[in-house]
Amino acid sequence: MSSTRHFMTELQAVPQMDLAAQYAAIGAEIREAVANVLASQQFVLGKEGAALEREVAELCGVQHGIGVASGTDALILALRAVGVSAGDEVILPPFTFVATGSAVSALGAKPVFADIDPQTFNIHPDEIAKRISSRTRAILVVHLYGLAADMDPIRSVAQRAGIPVVEDNAQAIGAAYKGKPTGALGDVACISFYPTKNLGAYGDAGMIVTNSAEMDTRLRTLRNHGQASRYNSVEPGWNSRLDELQATILGVKLRYLRDWENARRAHAAEYSKLLAPVSAVKPPHIPAGYQHVFHQYTIRAQRRDELQKFLSDRKIGNAVYYPIPLHLQPIYATLGHQRGSFPESERAANEVVSLPLFPELKSEQIARVCAAIAEFYRG
């Protein structure tokens, strides 16, 4: 009896995300697709990967897609392909997942941080301009939470300096900026298919997209031991290929991505409407002309840590992406930054909290989350 009651309480919890609900809806199609790959016994660099490369490139409005083993590998290979190597500098925001920085470090290059725009949480174009030096080899822009960075001024700065722009599009597949998809806004873009992403694999996977045929050829070489043709290695490369099982799973899910995105946007609008009267929180800002895909629904909240505890006590999912900006991470201690070096990134790290968001989320659940937030600030 008591375990039944416990189960009922658990059922009323609002999870941060719910991949099981998605699997319940599409599991039969996924199992069939996986069975076909198993029957083919072709697991690496086959037709499923090639088909997914075409489809994702098309979604991003570019000519080429190159499947790789993760979003992090996509960043490392793309940075290498635009010419980054040891001793170079790469400009990036400190308010991001550590992979954005560690990809730069993996090549022996130096991350040079540029603070964010507090409205969008994305790298500020003016901050980039201040940090360009003779050693800058790339600008690495992150489209955080599913919202594009302000790419027009960023591209202008980059063009004036003759520096390539790499998009970290790990969180924003399907988003758009002034009518153009993320992935088509720089010289090359990197996508993560980590399971929790809007388009998530059942393991690690990633892709690089670009309009450059030259970069496409180079990246296919880099992901496969630097082999320009079989057993002919022309430069040091990696083993970083997207496997056929992940590709076929992603191919099934891709058919639903637009519907899922629309559901996410509708949920976000509902949250923002219900939270509007709560002056202690600030819902996400969507600048005019941007299409947000709400990988996360992230608010700024007064007394954030207390609010988190209040929500967790009521079994309401919540998470902070990201609590420590990169310039304050132990791996970057040697760069000599301190608290106060990038004030907007630090303020965001202290104030943000992401609320439950996934396509299958119900209106009642959104209402429950918002009621709990209102109750917290009333109390």
Ligand X SMILES: Cc1ncc(COP(=O)(O)O)c(C=O)c1O
Beta carbon nearer to ligand X, 27 or 195: 195
Task: List own/partner pairs for 36-40 with CB under 8 A and 24 or more apart.
Answer: 36/248, 37/244, 37/245, 37/248, 40/244
Beta carbon nearer to ligand X, 171 or 365: 171
| Total site size for ligand X, rule CB under 6 A | 15
Question: Is residue 67 a contact point for ligand X (CB under 6 A)?
Answer: no
> For residues 23 and 36, what is the distance between their CA atoms, to the nearest angstrom?
18
From residue 120, alpha-carbon distances to 144, 171, 224, 236, 350 in Å are: 8, 14, 37, 38, 15
Question: Is residue 354 a contact point for ligand X (CB under 6 A)?
Answer: no
Of positions 37, 48, 95, 100, contacts ligand X by CB under 6 A: 100
Task: Considering only the stretches 65-73, 225-233, 242-250, 370-378, report the one whose residues sit in contact with ligand X under the rule CB under 6 A.
Answer: 65-73
Q: Which of 325, 181, 311 is nearest to 258 (CA)?
A: 181
Binding mask 215-254 for ligand X (x = CB under 6 A): ----------------------------------------
Instruction: Assess contact for 356 and 316: CB atoms under 8 A.
Output: yes
Task: Considering only the stretches 91-99, 279-287, 302-310, 365-373, report the one whose residues sit in contact with ligand X under the rule CB under 6 A.
Answer: 91-99
Apex CA 192: angle with CA 148 and CA 138, to 5°? 60
Beta carbon nearer to ligand X, 22 or 192: 192
Of positions 22, 120, 182, 192, contacts ligand X by CB under 6 A: 192
In single-letter form, the type of residue at position 245 comes to L
Nearest approach, Cβ of 69 to ligand X (angstroms)? 8
Question: Is residue 122 a contact point for ligand X (CB under 6 A)?
Answer: no
Residue 27: phi, psi to the nearest 5? -55, -40
Beta carbon nearer to ligand X, 106 or 269: 106
Question: Is residue 187 a contact point for ligand X (CB under 6 A)?
Answer: no
Task: List own/partner pairs for 32-40 with CB under 8 A and 24 or more apart.
Answer: 33/248, 33/249, 33/251, 33/252, 34/245, 34/248, 34/249, 36/248, 37/244, 37/245, 37/248, 40/244
The stretches of 235-342 forming alpha helices (DSSP H) are: 244-254, 257-275, 304-313
Of positions 120, 122, 136, 171, contacts ligand X by CB under 6 A: 171
Binding mask 126-165 for ligand X (x = CB under 6 A): ----------------x-----------------------
Question: Is residue 318 a contact point for ligand X (CB under 6 A)?
Answer: no
Name the site residues for ligand X (rule: CB under 6 A).
70-72, 96-97, 99-100, 142, 168, 170-171, 192, 194, 204, 206
